[in-house]
Amino acid sequence: MNVIDINNLRFRWQGQAQDTLNIEQLSILQGEHVFIHGESGSGKTTLLNLLTGILQANQGELRILKTAVSDLKAVQRDRFRADHMGVIFQQFNLLPYLSVIDNVTLPCHFSKIRHKKANNSEKTAKRLLNHLGVNDSLCQRAITELSVGQQQRVAVGRALIGQPEIIIADEPTSALDTGKRNAFLDLLFQEANAQDSTILFVSHDPYIADYFPRKIELAEINHCQQEAV
C-alpha cells in the first residue's frame, strides 16, 4: 500500500516568479525507508512542510494514507499530522520546561489515536527510551540537563510514540560524529521496523544514503530545478 502519493504537485512562494517545487509523481510504500538528498536551497524543507501540512500546494494532489491532504483546511492538516506522523527536527524542538518523559509523551496529548495506540503512554515512553539508550534515571530530568546525543534520542522517542505510520526526519544527524550518527540510524530503523513505520529521511549528507534501500535525488524529481539549469 502506498502511504504517500504525489501527482503534479506545484508550490510557489508568494511574490516569486517561478515554482520552488514541481514534482510530477512520487509514491512511497508502507514500511519503506527512503532517503531524499538535496543541496541547500533545493526545496527539501518546502517538501517536508507540504508533507506535514504546514504548507499547502498551489496545484496538484498530495495523498497521504489515502487522504487528500492537499484539500484539507489548515486545522485539519494539523490534526492529521498529529495523528499519523512523527517528526524529528534538525534542532529537535524539545520543550525545555518539560521533563524527558513529558517531552516523549507530548504527542499523546494532542492525538487521541496515538494516545490509544500507546496504551499506557508513560510506560510506553520509558520502554522506547530504554531501547534508545536513555535509562530510567534520566526520565524525570529537565531536557536541558541531557547531552545533545541524549536529546536526539528523546526526539526519536517522541516521534515514535503512538506508532505513527510515517516518520519524517529533517537533517537529524547533522550535529553527530560518524560513530554516533551510525548508531542513531541503527536505533531509528530498529524501532521503526518494530511498528512498521515508513521513514522519510531528508538530508544534504550523501554518506547517509548507503543506509537506505531507496534513494531519491530531489533535483531529479523536481522539474523546476531542471528547467532552471
Q: What is the pLDDT of residues 79-106, one digit of tens each?
A: 999 999 999 987 889 999 999 999 999 9
What are the grid coordinates assigned to 21, written together?
517545487
Calpha distance 195→55 (Å, rounded): 28
Q: What is the pTM of this model?
A: 0.91
* Residues listed for the chain: 229
Confidence at residue 188, expressed as pLDDT on a 0 to 100 scale: 87
Write phi, then psi, for 60 (nearest 5 degrees).
95, -175
We report the CATH number of the domain holding residue 175 as: 3.40.50.300
**Over 80: is that where the pLDDT of 228 sits?**
no
Q: What is the pLDDT of residues 21-56, one digit of tens each?
A: 999 999 999 999 999 998 877 888 899 999 999 999
Confidence at residue 170, expressed as pLDDT on a 0 to 100 scale: 87
- What's the average model confidence in pLDDT over 10-31? 93
Amino acid of residue 45: T
Confidence at residue 33, expressed as pLDDT on a 0 to 100 scale: 95
Calpha distance 92→87 (Å, rounded): 9
Buried residues in 21-42 as b, exposed as e (16+ CB within 10 A): bbbeebebeeebbbbbbbeeeb
Confidence at residue 89, expressed as pLDDT on a 0 to 100 scale: 85
Number of domains, the chain:
1
Give the residue numbers spanning the domain of 133.
2-228
To which H or E segment does residue 195 belong?
Answer: none
**pLDDT band, residue 2 (cuts 50/70/90):** very high
Question: Is residue 69 within 8 Å of residue 53, measured between CB atoms?
Answer: yes
**Over 50: is that where the pLDDT of 229 sits?**
no
Mean pLDDT, the chain, rounded, equals 90
Write phi, then psi, for 161 (nearest 5 degrees).
-65, 140
